[in-house]
Chains A and B, each alone.
Chain A
Amino acid sequence: MDSTVTTGTAEENVWGGGNRPLGASYGKLMMWFFLVSDALTFSGFLAAYGFSRFKFIETWPIADEVFTHVPFFHGNYPMIYVAFMTFILIMSSVTMVLAVDAGHNMKKNAVIWYMFLTIIGGAIFVGSQAWEWATFIKGDFGAVETKGGRILQFVNADTGERAALRDFAKTIPGERVEHERKNGIWYYNEGYMPSYSLEEVTEGLKANPSILIRTEAILQEGEEEGKKTLLTREQTLEKINDGKIVVEGANLEQNEYGSRLFADFFFFITGFHGFHVFSGVLINIIIFFNVILGTYERRGHYEMVEKVGLYWHFVDLVWVFVFTFFYLV
């Protein structure tokens, strides 16, 4: 009987409107819905990255060998700088949540300071990412790409360290210069020309008996499992004949670190994330000035800070995953 008897009064009527089943304001709900859809977008990118990686599981570049630089320091420091970037972003997430908390307590000055620190943290992160991109694009050792689009890197057999092209390539006088619009076909621009020609690299390789080629293939068994395959001197001299072009650094078409897809996904995913951080900083600045002007003080609540806070934490959340799948795994 109970199930058919209506006991509800006007206030309790489910269909009469005025209910807040999720207990959240319209704006906050919409921010959450946006974040869910954005999370799916990022997941799609990362899943596509996983697809390409599983496809080339035995030849994928090793992140520890790619991201080894720290600004103002020379040497080989894998992971350190990215860890620093991660910490900066988590830290700015903390100042953001402190700003939200201060907003709940209607402490205007505290909100201003915490928002300010959040913006600084975001700016440091975007700057670091720009530096990381610049280093990645510039490259450091150089490599040779084969006819099949595979990458051959060079190792000095005496030291076991990677050898840069400038260390062994021979300088052969030639007339080949970069094609520029002003002195060639006006609508065509070469844009990029490596510092050494394939001939110079090949001759240098033949002249230096200690230089060996390292292929993309990751050893699957034995003592050196997990490392890239090192060819013998005879194999090296034979393999260099497969070379087609010299590659320095990385762009959307070539990648001296290994599979081209690695560079493509790196630019695409960290770029999309960096764009989120950048727009997050802009939105934070707008809210920061609104707080200073006292907009939310007059409105009686700081929910707007909470909403941009959600976006900002989401950016941090995504970075946690990008960090894992790009740099750790």
Chain B
Amino acid sequence: MAHAHKLEIFRGLLKFKSNTQKIWGVLIFLTLVTMVEVAFGILKPRILTHSYFLGMKVLNWIFIILTLVKAYYIAWDFMHLRDEKSALRRAIVWTPIFLVLYLVFILLFEADYVYNVYKDGFVKWNF
């Protein structure tokens, strides 16, 4: 079962000597990202909560992107997707991404419509 691990992260920027070292390195990175998230969550800088991109607060975009970064390193290094064949990796990763993007798109669009009906339509719900 001795198979080689790919020991570099950040596209080769950081190279580790052993798999164990890489694991600790990834842990440090994930912890840093979580700390940044929590710090943002507590401070909520006004400049980020009052600016919008595609209808969502910039701060929320930052949270979602950092989450995806964390998910990437958990899947790639802890779940060893980095060492799997690319066919397996693509089957596992792109199938959910495609389906989830589709689902999120239709559900959030529909929810926004319902919100507008509640807001501007003749529906009394907030009483």
Binding site for B on A (CB under 8 A): 21-24, 29, 32, 35-36, 39-40, 43-44, 47-48, 50-59, 64, 78-80, 83, 86-87, 90-91, 93-94, 96-98, 100-101, 103-105, 146-148, 150, 216-217, 225-226, 242, 301-303, 306, 309-310, 313-314, 316-317, 320-321, 323-324, 327-329
Residues of chain A within 8 A (CB-CB) of B85 are: 21-24
For the complex, what is the distance from the CA of A64 to the CA of B40, rounded to whole Å?
12
Which of the residues A94, A302, A320 comes within 8 Å of B23, measured between beta carbons? Answer: A94
Q: Are A40 and B115 in contact (CB under 8 A)?
A: no
For the complex, what is the distance from the CA of A36 to the CA of B126, rounded to whole Å?
40
For the complex, what is the distance from the CA of A7 to the CA of B126, rounded to whole Å?
74
Residues of chain B within 8 A (CB-CB) of A327 are: 41
Per-position 1/0 for B1-28, Cβ under 8 A of A? 1110000000000000001100110010
For the complex, what is the distance from the CA of A226 to the CA of B46, rounded to whole Å?
10
Contact A101-B88, Cβ < 8 Å, known A225-B50, A329-B60, A329-B63: no
Chain B's nearest CB lies how many Å from the CB of A23? 5
Residues of chain A within 8 A (CB-CB) of B88 are: 22-24, 29, 32
B35 closest partner in A (C-beta): A83
For the complex, what is the distance from the CA of A147 to the CA of B31, rounded to whole Å?
46
Lowest 8 A-B CB distances belong to which pairs?
A54-B111, A148-B127, A22-B88, A324-B67, A51-B111, A51-B107, A83-B38, A43-B100
A318 closest partner in B (C-beta): B71
Residues of chain A within 8 A (CB-CB) of B23 are: 94, 97-98, 101
Contact A97-B64, Cβ < 8 Å, known A50-B107, A55-B118, A148-B126: no
For the complex, what is the distance from the CA of A101 to the CA of B85, rounded to whole Å?
19
Main secondary structure of the interface of A (DSSP, over half): helix
Q: Are B87 and A22 in contact (CB under 8 A)?
A: yes
Q: Which positions 71-127 of chain B face chain A at CB distance < 8 Å?
A: 71, 74-75, 77-80, 84-85, 87-88, 91-92, 95-96, 99-100, 103-104, 107-108, 110-112, 114-115, 118-119, 124-127
Residues of chain B within 8 A (CB-CB) of A103 are: 1
Chain A's nearest CB lies how many Å from the CB of B40? 8
Q: Are B96 and A321 in contact (CB under 8 A)?
A: no
Q: Are B78 and A316 in contact (CB under 8 A)?
A: yes
Main secondary structure of the interface of B (DSSP, over half): helix
Q: Are A55 and B127 in contact (CB under 8 A)?
A: no
A90 closest partner in B (C-beta): B30
25 pairs of residues in contact across A and B, judged by CB atoms under 8 Å? A21-B85, A23-B84, A40-B96, A47-B107, A48-B107, A50-B108, A50-B111, A51-B110, A56-B115, A79-B42, A80-B38, A90-B27, A97-B23, A100-B80, A148-B124, A150-B126, A216-B126, A302-B1, A313-B75, A316-B74, A317-B75, A320-B74, A328-B40, A328-B41, A329-B64
Q: Are A43 and B99 in contact (CB under 8 A)?
A: yes
Given A47-B107, A91-B27, A329-B63, 15 other A-B residues pairs in contact with their CB atoms under 8 A: A22-B84, A24-B84, A24-B85, A39-B96, A40-B96, A43-B96, A58-B119, A79-B38, A80-B38, A98-B20, A101-B19, A146-B127, A148-B124, A328-B60, A329-B64
Q: Are A301 and B1 in contact (CB under 8 A)?
A: yes
Q: Are A90 and B108 in contact (CB under 8 A)?
A: no
B3 closest partner in A (C-beta): A104
Chain A's nearest CB lies how many Å from the CB of B105? 9
Residues of chain B within 8 A (CB-CB) of A147 are: 127
Chain A's nearest CB lies how many Å from the CB of B86? 10
Residues of chain A within 8 A (CB-CB) of B95 are: 36
Candidate in A29, A48, A54, A147 with the most chain B CB atoms within 10 angstroms = A54
For the complex, what is the distance from the CA of A100 to the CA of B41, rounded to whole Å?
34
Q: Are B34 and A83 in contact (CB under 8 A)?
A: yes
Which of the residues B74, B103, B124 comes within 8 Å of A317, measured between beta carbons? Answer: B74
